[in-house]
Amino acid sequence: MTYCVGLLLRDGIVLLSDTRTNAGLDNIATYRKMFTFEDPGERVIVILTAGSLSVTQNVLARLDEAIHDDAPDTPNILTAATMLQVAEIVGSTLNTVAREVSVKISSMENQAATASLIVAGQRRGGAMRMFLVYPEGNFIEATEDTPYLQIGEHKYGKPILDRVIRPDTPLAEAEKAVLLSMDSTLRSNLSVGMPLDLAVIERDACRIGHARRIEAGDAHFAAMSEAWSKALRAAFAQITL
Amino acid sequence: MTYCVGLLLRDGIVLLSDTRTNAGLDNIATYRKMFTFEDPGERVIVILTAGSLSVTQNVLARLDEAIHDDAPDTPNILTAATMLQVAEIVGSTLNTVAREVSVKISSMENQAATASLIVAGQRRGGAMRMFLVYPEGNFIEATEDTPYLQIGEHKYGKPILDRVIRPDTPLAEAEKAVLLSMDSTLRSNLSVGMPLDLAVIERDACRIGHARRIEAGDAHFAAMSEAWSKALRAAFAQITL
């Protein structure tokens, strides 16, 4: 499985993904699930992926191929006029690939290959937007009322987000919140694993502000995780029935 | 849906269930999901239920009927020699009922009726034991390594249990932990709802120590929930990246 989360806040966008991929419990591998497309200052798009790797890799490969294709009449995600059109291109590509793969699979076994994606970004002059693209290619958008979107194993890490994330949460706090949301998920579900990919996009920058990979032994993350455990236990001890 | 949790600790057993039942989103009702069977000082058994109400009600009705049936040769859950045999009776009954109901349902639509149960208790002279009975009737048992079992919407409330529950957690702390685990679930999932049923069984008492229903407006629960929110936010504010 997977856990990916995106926050759409007043000050910017914060995205976090894990990297664990498994086909059964005895076939575990590390694959990047965060993909960035950037024309710095003009446009930035980040795509997070969950689901069948054969679907998500193919979707990303086609989106990438379309960018490098010399077909100026067909809009790609770096030339589409709006973020809504970007989401539509991603959704259509996902629908096409998922159907192609599922035809192959269903000829062999009674199963479908599905994936879902988070697409977030901004083009110069437009608003920051973030979409959750469903396996069928239709999508919903994050709003002020629901400023975060999750794909994959989303339940373990939801309570912390429900409690601390508001549209005006500052970016540094938001970064902390997604890392702690991931930390809860890592502790409770083996199918989600380090390393992690984090990206922060500041409002109107139209470029990745900072991005980092957090490796399994990362001292900062381990210290934060340990401090959070301690703080939670202390908070728990304070509560009276 | 449902959220039920049981803890098997050195000092006793703590059980908590919600009461929300839904058939679709527009048909919501309140049904008890905690059932106690007691021969005080001799034997205490608590069953928590999740899944199709038509299955769980029928299972409980049959277990109850067997107790009041004048067939002394057939052991029921109050006369079975061990807690393991109690779990076997409950598992067999669940298997029988689920198959009967599923035959009816599958003749109408391509679907099955399933349920899972937590069975916990102690007979005089025996050990406290707690089982999770799967929809097929087979079961697993809580151990020192895994002192808690959950059924229904278990993911939201798992992180807090993973952090604070050890076999030697005192019963008052354990009660707090299951209530906070439920609180996280209530906040993040609409299909789990108040009132709640709580039961505590002290080691070797072989009777319910205390049981209470926590209603929607319960001032203590509301205060604890609010205090936990505050403590979590304060803990969150303390953490540095």
pLDDT per 10-residue tile (average), chain A, 241 residues: 96 97 82 96 97 94 92 88 97 96 82 90 97 96 95 94 95 97 92 95 97 95 94 90 76
Nearest residue on chain B to A227, judged by CA atoms? Answer: B239
Q: Which residue has the higher pLDDT, B207 or B106?
A: B207
d(CA A194, CA A20): 7
CB nearest to B232's CB, from A155, A176, A235:
A235
A67: left (phi over 0), alpha (psi -120 to 50) or beta: alpha
Contact call for A220 and B241, based on CB within 8 A: yes
Q: Which residue has the tokens 């079975």?
A: B80
ipTM, interface predicted TM-score of the complex: 0.81
Residues of A within 8 A of B232 (CB-CB) are: 160, 163-164, 232, 235
Q: Helices B219-238 and A171-188, interaxial angle, to 10°?
A: 110
Say yes or no for a CB contact (<8 Å) between B176 and A231.
Answer: no
Q: Are B128 and B201 in contact (CB under 8 A)?
A: yes
In sequence order, which residues have a C-beta less than 8 Å from that of residue A100 and are 6 or more positions away? none
Query: B159 to chain A: which residues are within 8 Å by CB?
Result: 156, 159, 184, 187-188
| B51 has pLDDT over 90 | yes
pTM tops 0.90, yes or no: no
The residue of chain A with its CA nearest to that of B233 is A164
Radius of gyration of chain B (CA): 18
**pLDDT, position A1:** 82
Residue B78 identity: L
Tens digit of each residue's pLDDT (9 = 90 or more) over B77-116? 999 999 999 999 999 999 999 999 988 888 777 777 899 9
Are the C-beta atoms of B216 and A199 separated by less than 8 Å? no
Confidence at residue A24, expressed as pLDDT on a 0 to 100 scale: 74
Which chain A residues are closer than 8 Å to B155 by Cβ?
Answer: 153, 155-156, 188-189
> Any idea which of A42-46, B45-49, B234-238 has the lowest mean pLDDT?
B234-238
User: Which one is predicted more confidently, A49 or B22?
Assistant: A49
Q: Give chain B's domains with CATH numbers.
A: 3-238 (3.60.20.10)
For residue B231, give the nearest of A159, A172, A239 by CB distance.
A239
Residue B23's pLDDT band (boundaries 50, 70, 90)?
confident
| Interface-testing mutation among A110, A184, A190, with chain B (most B C-beta atoms within 10 A) | A184
pLDDT exceeds cutoff 80 at B147? yes
Which residues on chain B place their C-beta less than 8 Å from a C-beta of chain A? 153, 155-156, 158-160, 162-164, 172, 175-177, 179-180, 184, 187-189, 220, 224, 227-229, 231-236, 238-241
